[in-house]
Amino acid sequence: MKLGAYTACLHDKPLPEALAVLAGFGLDSAEVNSGGFIPEPHLPIADILASGQAREDYLGVFAGHGMTLTALNCNGNPLHPNPAVREKHAADILRSIEVAALLGVKRVVTMSGTPAASASGTNPAWNVLPWDSAYLDVRDYQWNEVAIPFWRTVQERAADLDVKIAIEMHPHNVVYNPATLLRLVEAIDATHVGAELDPSHLFWQGIEPIEAIDHLGALVYNAAAKDTRINPAARVNGVLDDRFGRVRPDEPGAVGLGGPYTLSRWPTNSSWDFVAVGRGHDLDWWRGFLRALERLDPDMAVNIEHEDQELGQLEGLESAAKTLLAAAGR
């Protein structure tokens, strides 16, 4: 099993320095961004597409630090109703498959996307719990008219190049839990589209990630190591909490998500928070998580995604790495 990190949290550092940080924490796997919501400073895409020597040199940087490039990450919204976002993110996913194949990397991590509620809609609409048949109409449109046709194209490209697409089951996407992942796999007759098992997004939905692993079986292609802490506020407001704030694109620290959109401000006294591995669930839980993944694939890559806002850049990575390595008995 490879244990490493997604390097997006180290985008302020050149790739060799970022890899040295990960190696210094005892990790041996790296996942780098290849498009979508955020830039890709650790992946010289044009050079890789153009030159075999550039590909060799690039992979040599990882080898020189005792690291393996185990996945590309292209999280975005390829189904967005705004064409400026949709066309870029969709093209980035298809390009990422080609780049991965050229590099000999067999995994691309991404999100399934979210369309509007109808063909005339202008903003994404996450449609859950369709107890009113109007929402079944939304579901039918989003899946049959938008999601399934796009993901058939992805499946074809991935199968042609023998690259596995690992979808992060992320709320605010059409695929957000095992049932929706299986719906997509069945609808497109997938051979190369499956799941990335990121427990953090499952925890706050009330899903037990280890049971999800057992349920999905061989469809789990890749894994993330990110924890979630459920806070006391959840006892009052539950986990579906809309108290997020607007961040203007010109504000200091604003994170753009494509087009005019930005990452919203997290609620004060939130119902739940993303935290470093071990700060939401104990070491025994993480041992069980790694064992479940290893049963599926002894070569599974598990990469830390550091989004703990209470810990600094290196502090959070180091904390997560220590727990993950201890859970693996290293």
Domain locations along the chain: 2-327
Q: How far apart are CA 46 and CA 184, in angstroms?
A: 32
3-state secondary structure of 110: strand
Position 44 scores a pLDDT of 98
Helix (H) or strand (E) holding 220: strand 220-225
Q: Is 13 exposed, middle or buried (0-12, 13-18, 19+ CB in 10 A)?
A: middle
Phi, psi of 186 (to 5 degrees): -70, -40
Residues of the chain with pLDDT under 70: none
Distance (Å, whole) CA 169 – CA 129 = 16
> How much is the pLDDT for 185?
98
* Span 82-141, pLDDT tens digits: 999 999 999 999 999 999 999 999 999 999 999 999 999 999 999 999 999 999 999 999
Domain at 2-327: CATH architecture? Alpha-Beta Barrel (3.20)
Residue 310, pLDDT score: 95
Question: Rounded to two decimals, what is the model's pTM?
Answer: 0.96
Supply the pLDDT for residue 168.
98
- Residue 310: closest CA among 219, 239, 231, 243: 231
Tokens 């108290």 locate to: 243
Quote the pLDDT of residue 105: 98
Predicted local confidence at residue 152, as pLDDT: 98
Structure confidence at residue 92 (pLDDT) = 98
Residue 94 sits at φ, ψ, to 5 deg, of -65, -40
